Amino acid sequence: MTESFLLYALSISQAMRREDFALGFNSAGAWSSVNHFHLQGYFLSSIEGAVSTNFPVAAQHREEMFRVGGAIVKYLPSWKTTCCVIEPQDAARNAIHVVQIAWALLELLQARGIPHNLVIVDTVMFIFPRQPQCENGVSLFSDDTTTEHAGRLRIAVAELSGLIVAGDSVVYENLTEEMFSSILQTEVSLSADEEVALVAEWKAKIDITAG
Protein backbone atom coordinates (compact mmCIF):
# COMPACT_ATOMS: atom_id res chain seq x y z
CA MET A 1 0.00 0.00 0.00
CA THR A 2 1.11 3.55 -0.73
CA GLU A 3 -0.49 6.91 -0.09
CA SER A 4 -1.27 7.35 -3.79
CA PHE A 5 -2.96 3.93 -3.95
CA LEU A 6 -4.96 4.81 -0.85
CA LEU A 7 -6.13 8.02 -2.51
CA TYR A 8 -7.05 6.00 -5.60
CA ALA A 9 -9.09 3.61 -3.46
CA LEU A 10 -10.96 6.49 -1.84
CA SER A 11 -11.69 7.99 -5.26
CA ILE A 12 -13.29 4.70 -6.34
CA SER A 13 -15.44 4.60 -3.23
CA GLN A 14 -16.57 8.19 -3.73
CA ALA A 15 -17.31 7.66 -7.42
CA MET A 16 -19.61 4.70 -6.71
CA ARG A 17 -22.11 6.86 -4.77
CA ARG A 18 -23.80 3.75 -3.36
CA GLU A 19 -24.69 3.14 0.28
CA ASP A 20 -24.29 -0.62 -0.20
CA PHE A 21 -20.74 -0.50 -1.62
CA ALA A 22 -17.46 -1.01 0.23
CA LEU A 23 -13.82 -1.59 -0.68
CA GLY A 24 -11.63 -4.00 1.24
CA PHE A 25 -7.87 -4.55 1.48
CA ASN A 26 -5.85 -7.29 3.18
CA SER A 27 -2.17 -6.70 3.94
CA ALA A 28 0.57 -9.30 4.02
CA GLY A 29 -0.05 -11.51 7.05
CA ALA A 30 -3.75 -10.62 7.06
CA TRP A 31 -4.90 -13.05 4.34
CA SER A 32 -3.80 -11.12 1.28
CA SER A 33 -4.02 -13.48 -1.68
CA VAL A 34 -1.39 -11.83 -3.89
CA ASN A 35 1.67 -9.73 -3.11
CA HIS A 36 0.65 -6.53 -4.87
CA PHE A 37 -1.86 -3.74 -4.41
CA HIS A 38 -5.38 -4.92 -5.09
CA LEU A 39 -8.83 -4.13 -3.71
CA GLN A 40 -11.92 -6.21 -3.13
CA GLY A 41 -15.25 -4.59 -4.00
CA TYR A 42 -18.38 -5.53 -2.07
CA PHE A 43 -22.01 -4.85 -2.85
CA LEU A 44 -23.82 -5.63 0.39
CA SER A 45 -27.39 -6.88 0.13
CA SER A 46 -29.78 -5.45 2.69
CA ILE A 47 -30.56 -7.80 5.58
CA GLU A 48 -33.98 -7.84 7.16
CA GLY A 49 -33.87 -5.96 10.45
CA ALA A 50 -30.41 -4.50 9.82
CA VAL A 51 -29.75 -0.84 10.58
CA SER A 52 -27.35 -0.46 7.66
CA THR A 53 -27.12 -1.53 4.02
CA ASN A 54 -23.37 -1.97 4.38
CA PHE A 55 -21.00 -4.01 6.55
CA PRO A 56 -22.18 -4.17 10.20
CA VAL A 57 -19.02 -2.33 11.28
CA ALA A 58 -20.21 0.76 9.40
CA ALA A 59 -23.27 1.03 11.65
CA GLN A 60 -21.38 0.75 14.93
CA HIS A 61 -21.37 3.56 17.47
CA ARG A 62 -18.12 5.53 17.23
CA GLU A 63 -16.40 7.59 19.89
CA GLU A 64 -13.88 10.31 19.11
CA MET A 65 -10.20 9.95 19.96
CA PHE A 66 -8.85 13.12 18.36
CA ARG A 67 -9.14 15.53 15.44
CA VAL A 68 -6.39 16.65 13.12
CA GLY A 69 -6.18 18.44 9.78
CA GLY A 70 -9.80 18.05 8.68
CA ALA A 71 -10.06 14.44 9.84
CA ILE A 72 -11.73 12.90 12.88
CA VAL A 73 -10.26 9.73 14.37
CA LYS A 74 -12.64 7.49 16.29
CA TYR A 75 -12.79 4.03 17.82
CA LEU A 76 -15.57 1.46 18.18
CA PRO A 77 -16.21 0.75 21.88
CA SER A 78 -18.52 -2.21 21.20
CA TRP A 79 -16.51 -3.92 18.44
CA LYS A 80 -14.49 -7.01 19.35
CA THR A 81 -11.24 -6.09 17.63
CA THR A 82 -8.90 -3.14 17.43
CA CYS A 83 -10.28 -0.70 14.88
CA CYS A 84 -9.34 2.89 14.08
CA VAL A 85 -11.92 4.88 12.12
CA ILE A 86 -10.93 7.96 10.14
CA GLU A 87 -13.70 10.15 8.77
CA PRO A 88 -13.74 13.68 7.29
CA GLN A 89 -15.01 16.65 9.26
CA ASP A 90 -16.64 17.74 6.00
CA ALA A 91 -17.12 14.97 3.43
CA ALA A 92 -17.32 17.51 0.60
CA ARG A 93 -13.99 19.17 1.41
CA ASN A 94 -11.87 17.03 3.72
CA ALA A 95 -11.62 13.59 2.06
CA ILE A 96 -7.95 14.15 1.22
CA HIS A 97 -7.23 14.66 4.92
CA VAL A 98 -8.70 11.24 5.66
CA VAL A 99 -6.14 9.73 3.28
CA GLN A 100 -3.26 11.64 4.87
CA ILE A 101 -4.11 10.62 8.44
CA ALA A 102 -4.98 7.04 7.49
CA TRP A 103 -1.74 6.72 5.53
CA ALA A 104 0.26 7.83 8.57
CA LEU A 105 -1.13 4.82 10.43
CA LEU A 106 -0.79 2.39 7.52
CA GLU A 107 2.81 3.46 6.91
CA LEU A 108 3.53 2.88 10.59
CA LEU A 109 1.94 -0.58 10.49
CA GLN A 110 3.97 -1.53 7.42
CA ALA A 111 7.19 -0.30 9.01
CA ARG A 112 6.48 -2.33 12.16
CA GLY A 113 5.41 -5.43 10.24
CA ILE A 114 1.96 -5.38 11.84
CA PRO A 115 -0.67 -7.11 9.67
CA HIS A 116 -3.81 -5.10 9.00
CA ASN A 117 -7.06 -5.00 7.12
CA LEU A 118 -8.80 -1.96 5.68
CA VAL A 119 -12.37 -1.27 4.62
CA ILE A 120 -13.59 1.94 2.98
CA VAL A 121 -17.24 2.97 3.05
CA ASP A 122 -17.87 6.20 1.14
CA THR A 123 -15.25 8.58 2.62
CA VAL A 124 -14.76 6.71 5.91
CA MET A 125 -11.82 4.36 6.47
CA PHE A 126 -11.81 1.52 9.00
CA ILE A 127 -8.32 0.19 9.79
CA PHE A 128 -7.89 -3.06 11.73
CA PRO A 129 -4.35 -3.60 13.09
CA ARG A 130 -4.16 -7.26 14.11
CA GLN A 131 -2.26 -10.41 14.99
CA PRO A 132 -0.74 -12.42 12.12
CA GLN A 133 -3.10 -14.64 10.15
CA CYS A 134 -3.78 -18.23 11.18
CA GLU A 135 -6.51 -20.82 10.82
CA ASN A 136 -8.88 -19.53 13.48
CA GLY A 137 -10.90 -21.39 16.09
CA VAL A 138 -9.20 -24.72 15.40
CA SER A 139 -9.70 -25.99 18.96
CA LEU A 140 -13.37 -24.99 19.03
CA PHE A 141 -14.59 -27.36 16.35
CA SER A 142 -14.47 -31.09 17.13
CA ASP A 143 -14.57 -33.53 14.25
CA ASP A 144 -12.23 -35.91 12.44
CA THR A 145 -8.93 -34.07 12.88
CA THR A 146 -7.29 -36.15 10.16
CA THR A 147 -9.39 -34.34 7.56
CA GLU A 148 -7.77 -31.41 5.81
CA HIS A 149 -9.90 -28.29 5.49
CA ALA A 150 -9.45 -25.54 2.90
CA GLY A 151 -9.77 -22.43 5.02
CA ARG A 152 -12.15 -23.51 7.76
CA LEU A 153 -12.28 -20.02 9.32
CA ARG A 154 -9.94 -17.30 8.15
CA ILE A 155 -10.46 -13.83 9.59
CA ALA A 156 -9.79 -11.26 6.86
CA VAL A 157 -11.36 -7.91 5.97
CA ALA A 158 -14.92 -9.19 5.44
CA GLU A 159 -14.99 -11.10 8.73
CA LEU A 160 -13.52 -8.18 10.67
CA SER A 161 -16.23 -5.98 9.17
CA GLY A 162 -19.00 -8.36 10.24
CA LEU A 163 -19.52 -10.67 7.24
CA ILE A 164 -18.46 -14.21 8.19
CA VAL A 165 -17.44 -16.65 5.47
CA ALA A 166 -17.52 -20.25 6.70
CA GLY A 167 -14.85 -22.39 5.06
CA ASP A 168 -16.73 -25.64 5.55
CA SER A 169 -19.98 -27.11 6.85
CA VAL A 170 -18.58 -27.69 10.35
CA VAL A 171 -18.04 -23.97 10.88
CA TYR A 172 -21.31 -23.09 9.16
CA GLU A 173 -23.34 -25.36 11.41
CA ASN A 174 -21.52 -24.83 14.73
CA LEU A 175 -20.09 -21.32 14.93
CA THR A 176 -21.89 -19.14 17.48
CA GLU A 177 -21.69 -15.42 18.16
CA GLU A 178 -19.95 -16.13 21.47
CA MET A 179 -17.36 -18.34 19.76
CA PHE A 180 -16.71 -15.76 17.06
CA SER A 181 -16.32 -12.96 19.61
CA SER A 182 -13.84 -15.07 21.56
CA ILE A 183 -11.82 -15.80 18.42
CA LEU A 184 -11.68 -12.12 17.51
CA GLN A 185 -10.54 -11.08 20.98
CA THR A 186 -7.96 -13.82 21.58
CA GLU A 187 -6.67 -14.77 18.12
CA VAL A 188 -7.03 -11.63 16.01
CA SER A 189 -7.17 -8.34 17.93
CA LEU A 190 -4.15 -6.54 19.33
CA SER A 191 -3.91 -6.47 23.11
CA ALA A 192 -5.02 -3.33 24.95
CA ASP A 193 -1.40 -2.42 25.69
CA GLU A 194 -0.37 -2.88 22.06
CA GLU A 195 -3.28 -0.73 20.93
CA VAL A 196 -2.41 2.09 23.35
CA ALA A 197 1.25 2.04 22.25
CA LEU A 198 0.29 2.04 18.57
CA VAL A 199 -2.08 4.99 18.90
CA ALA A 200 0.53 6.93 20.87
CA GLU A 201 3.12 6.33 18.14
CA TRP A 202 0.59 7.28 15.45
CA LYS A 203 -0.25 10.54 17.24
CA ALA A 204 3.43 11.35 17.62
CA LYS A 205 3.94 10.70 13.91
CA ILE A 206 1.26 13.25 12.99
CA ASP A 207 2.33 15.59 15.80
CA ILE A 208 -0.75 15.26 18.02
CA THR A 209 0.01 15.95 21.66
CA ALA A 210 -3.50 16.21 23.08
CA GLY A 211 -4.85 13.23 25.04
Convert the pLDDT of each residue in 24-62 to its tens digit.
999 999 999 776 788 999 998 765 555 668 999 999 999
* Confidence at 146, pLDDT banded by 50, 70, 90: very low
Tell me whether residue 66 is exposed, middle or buried, using C-beta atoms within 10 angstroms of its C-beta: 0 to 12, 13 to 18, 19 or more. Answer: middle
- Number of domains present in the structure of the chain: 1
Q: Quote the domain boundaries for residue 49.
A: 1-211
Q: Is this model's pTM higher than 0.85 or not?
A: yes
Average per-residue pLDDT for the chain: 89
In CATH, what number is assigned to the domain containing residue 53?
Answer: 3.30.428.70
Contact 113, 122 (CB under 8 A): no
DSSP secondary structure string for all residues of 140-188:
G--S-TTS--S-SS---HHHHTT----SSHHHHHH--HHHHHHHIIIII
Query: Helix, strand, coil shares of the chain as percentages rounded to 5?
Result: 35, 20, 45
